[in-house]
């Protein structure tokens, strides 16, 4: 049985995957975000997942 904690994180990831493309509708936003994270030394896959999670957390009640 999954815990409430696991369920919340799964929902955050799913919601983030829906939200990220909406945020990236303007190409300059995607380019700027990717450049900032690259400069900070964050791997491509990790940075995309972080953005998804942060976007979802912002919208959690």
Cα-only R_g, the chain = 13
Domain holding 25, by residue range, is 4-59
Identify whether the C-beta of residue 59 lies closer than 8 Å to the C-beta of residue 19.
Answer: yes
Identify whether the C-beta of residue 56 lies closer than 8 Å to the C-beta of residue 12.
Answer: yes
* Residue scoring higher pLDDT (21 or 60): 21
- The answer to whether residue 1 scores a pLDDT higher than 60 is no
Both tokens of residue 6? 């696991």
pTM higher than the cut 0.75? no
Give per-residue pLDDT as tens, 3-57: 777 777 777 777 777 777 777 777 787 788 778 888 988 887 887 777 777 776 7
> What SS3 state is found at 41?
coil
Q: If you search the block for the tokens 């936003």, which residue do you land on? A: 29
DSSP 25: T
Number of domains making up the chain? 1
């Amino acid at each position: 049985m999954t815990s409430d904690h696991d369920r919340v994180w799964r929902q955050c990831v799913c919601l983030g995957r829906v939200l990220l493309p909406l945020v990236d509708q303007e190409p300059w936003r995607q380019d700027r975000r990717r450049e900032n994270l690259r400069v900070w030394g964050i791997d491509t896959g990790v940075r995309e997942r972080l953005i998804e999670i942060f976007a979802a957390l912002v919208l959690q009640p």
